[in-house]
A and B are shown apart, each in its own frame.
Chain A
């Protein structure tokens, strides 16, 4: 496994400085976010152990935290994790149909990854985008007021992005 990039290490050092002396455990959530981004979108045991060593924590403290928060993936995921809101305010404006369409389009169920390793559908609870639902999120970017046409576009964009980067 590659070590964290220099930039990430710098960011981690800066994060730790936000908290008082001896309270570096506070840095755990932001550091796990960075680690997940750098390590293919999920936290392996090795990654978590590395974070534990970095913050001088018992590995179990990291496992406990990582398994508590729904943004952390503990299993390998696709290159694009489509986090789709499934809570009422989105559902009553067509969220369920969008989810169905997405599943049909990618031929996978919720929580699954496409065989080509490109897409994972991850159902999420309320993403705080109720005024512009149905909504899905890929990393920090919100895709709002979703329609079937927009889903087609998003999928095509992702595929293109993937093609360009490879």
Chain B
């Protein structure tokens, strides 16, 4: 199995593993952010350019560095490869640039966006962006549209990750929406008004990294950090039936698929589970969902502080990878 060194940490991974996934196996701050890559969607990745890294040594057999920064989500490791992510000022600068590019046309409507609090772009901007914008022109705007009675498309917020298109291609019987036009006029659209409606279309909401596709049944109901995420399941003939219920008191405000540490859906769920089972009685509750303590959603929740040591709550980081490379360097 090839061995690769990322920011000084060595790991052995199966042949064919990408740099990004090798980094995820190491964990910690050296994991490149990814806005378009989605491990469960074939052909995803390579587009947003936030996961660019520098390959300082190609492999043991060909040690030459790669001439340009590469998308770590689409570049496969080779034995002896050495990669610099947060140890490379060049990478950090390029990433800062990418964040700026992603934000110049993105509206500052987080206060009225249902995705706020669980938005990958917010996190990315917070961690890698600048506090000020240098863009002074009018932003590209589109009217929000309903694609069916369950999903809202706010094209203004879209970062063109293509995930929802891959999802429609790979998970649903027919694809009704796609990418229209090109360049900075490119947009996600059905071209003619059409409802995207099939058993699995709701998963487009979960794979969308921003607030471009949101759940109309949850629209403006609550800020997500005022809800309690609860793991639950039900017997479902269409999907796995394993979900997270976003609850306020006994009320189920929203249902979504369960996600991994890197925010990817574990198993896709059907629209019946997502949109139509809004009674607590529809579900068998399992307990509080684990929310990263770095997330704003975790702020009001005591269950993230499970272990008491000498009467002092301790954060449970056992599920999280340990290396904290950035702080060590700084």
Contacts and interface: CB of A to CB of B under 8 A. Distances in A.
Direct contact of A and B (CB under 8 A): yes
B177 A60 contact: yes
Given A45-B191, A60-B190, A67 B177 contact: no
B187 to A, nearest CB: 9
Given A45-B191, A45-B192, A63 B178 contact: yes
Interface string A27-71: 000000000000000000100000000000011110110011000
Which of B174, B176, B179, B191 is packed against the most chain A CB atoms within 10 Å?
Answer: B191
A121 to B, nearest CB: 20
Interface residues of A, number: 9
B182 interface: yes
B191 A58 contact: no
A58 B174 contact: yes
Which of A45, A58, A60, A61 is packed against the most chain B CB atoms within 10 Å?
Answer: A60
A68 B185 CA distance: 10
A48 B176 CA distance: 14
B181 A68 contact: yes
Contacts of B178: 60-61, 63-64
* Majority secondary structure, A binding face: helix
B180 A63 contact: yes
A83 B192 CA distance: 27
B175 A67 contact: no
B191 A68 contact: no
Interface in B74-117: none
Interface of B: 174-182, 190-192
8 closest A-B pairs (Cβ-Cβ)?
Answer: A63-B191, A67-B180, A64-B178, A60-B178, A67-B181, A68-B182, A45-B192, A60-B175
